[in-house]
Amino acid sequence: MKDVISDLYEKITGESTSLGKLFSKIPGIEGYMERSRRREADQLLRETIAARLEEIRLQLGNVHDELGQDIIKAIDHADSFGRVDTKLMGLIGKIKDAPQGYAGFFDAVKVKEEDLARLYAFDEQMLNHVDQIEAGVAALGKAVREDGDIAGALRELDTAVDEANRTFATRGELLSGVADY
């Protein structure tokens, strides 16, 4: 997961323009440019996480369609499927709509450089949650195809989505904890 974060950040920081080179020669502007690149990396990371979750949600829909071939099972698990899908859809919306995780030079909230490691650790944790949700959908699909414990797989997936939602809900607290006013 660290590689994903590093790759995204490197993609942003590796893009160098003539204007950027000029600005880098102005005293004090380098820190501003660095913060700007970090904001872009944060936005790109959140977009990546949301896109992966949307793909996973489509996979969940495919599993639901497979389950629908057996009407009795589909009815038995309709509420659980609906609940997981709603929570997943809500998480995707929260991630897409979240404020940027790094304040700009002229913003009222400034994130200290030494606190960025906490933000990156948070991002890594969110990527781990995405992996867990994806594994949960895969396990659910297997349970549906092999006539396994569908209810148990749904509970585990629901728990994974809940944990991701709880973690993401702490993002605002994390950002306010690393900010100066």
Measuring CA to CA, how many Å separate 32 from each of 58, 99, 119? Answer: 39, 19, 18
- Give the model confidence (pLDDT) of 59-96 as tens digits: 999 999 999 999 999 999 999 999 999 999 999 999 98
* CA–CA separation, 154 and 83 (whole Å): 10
Q: Which of 115, 108, 91 is nearest to 174 (CA)?
A: 115
* CA–CA separation, 27 and 87 (whole Å): 47
Q: Which of 52, 55, 49, 53 is nearest to 5 (CA)?
A: 49
- Give the model confidence (pLDDT) of 114-156 as tens digits: 566 777 788 889 999 999 999 999 999 999 999 999 999 999 9
pLDDT at site 106: 41
Q: Which amino acid is present at 122?
A: F
Cβ atoms of residues 90 and 165 within 8 Å: yes
The two three-digit tokens of residue 50, written as one number: 């949301």
* CA–CA separation, 106 and 10 (whole Å): 24
H helix intervals, 68-181: 71-97, 116-145, 150-169, 171-177
The two three-digit tokens of residue 167, written as one number: 């973690």
Cβ atoms of residues 158 and 87 within 8 Å: yes
Global pTM? 0.75
- Give the start-to-end residue ranges of the domains of the chain: 45-180
The two three-digit tokens of residue 43, written as one number: 């936005």
From the candidate CATH numbers 1.20.930, 3.40.50, 1.10.10, 1.25.10, the one assigned to the domain spanning 45-180: 1.20.930
For residue 24, pLDDT over 80 is answered with: no
